[in-house]
Amino acid sequence: MSTKLEQLKQMTDVVADTGDIEAIKLYKPQDATTNPSLLLKAAQLPQYKNLLDQCIVAAKKEGGSSDQQLKYASDHLAVAIGCEILKVVPGRISTEVDARLSFDTNASIDKAHHLIDLYQQNGIDKSRVLIKLASTWEGIRAAEKLEKEGINCNLTLLFGFNQAAACADAGVFLISPFVGRILDWYKASTGQDYTAETDPGVLSVRHIYNYYKQHDFKTVVMGASFRNTGEIEALAGCDRLTISPQLLKELDEDSGTLERKLSADNTGDAIAKLNDTESSFRFGMNDDAMATEKLAEGIRNFAKDQVKLEDQLKELANA
């Protein structure tokens, strides 16, 4: 009998949530995603030591202040690791814009252009890259403009329905609703335990998926940030799921039967269309304590890891 991972691949595009090339080779996902936290981990791997050195040299050639060169070096590193990943996945790599730009539309667009330029200098067409942006109002507006330029985007740190509806309205290519972090918030808030079927993160993604299919939005739903395989199994049939190596391993070692849970042919009760303005979006987020708190926390933590990565590059540059 086939494993649950093999069964999942028959109904959902599986994406690896890692910068570890060896794990990607092992589990053969369609795509891969990275973020500042994953890049920081990847930068510790011995096989990337030469890449770090090369990125520092390349950043110095771009000029600018020492602080600007560190930002360039981290861009070069993100793209260098992305290029390595693209050698082993048939699909796309998601590369994230600096979280410190999450509330600056124009700066996010400029950073996206720089990342795409670096990929193209390495022979990678923009069709194989997704630019990751935080699902703030400003991030969604940046994605809307980039999509019109033919640069596809992955809107991350997505926790609330307002964020998902606004992304669809903006014509975003893909969203990454964070399942596990939603569960974390509710467990801390209520003190309750949840099954896969009552998991608030799972229910959130199912609601978004059904909404998109009912209203014929083409935006891809890619569940992310899983705490256990039960959450993944409860979303079998979702457009895509991005999964850590550890959970990929658990699915690959399980030969039980996997039941499809999501289908465009069965989306449940009708969900009214939401058309947000900036003010109604912001009020909707303000009214959702979980989404507001987890978005802010996610941006802070990604920004901290970005700074740690730049500090590591600074040490190498000064060595």
Q: Looking at the DSSP assignment, which residues form a beta bridge with residue 31?
A: 15
Name which of 298, 261, 280 is nearest 185 in CA terms. Answer: 298
Residues 6+ positions from 263 with CB-CB distance below 8 Å:
237
- Written as six digits, the tokens of 81 are 């690791």
Rg (CA), the chain: 19
Contact between residue 72 and residue 80 where contact means Cβ atoms under 8 Å apart: no
Q: Could you give the residue ranges of the DSSP H alpha helices within 94-227?
A: 105-121, 137-148, 161-169, 179-190, 200-214
Contact between residue 151 and residue 114 where contact means Cβ atoms under 8 Å apart: no
Segment (H or E) for 317 = helix 289-318
Task: Report, as residue numbers or ranges, the catalytic residues.
Answer: 132
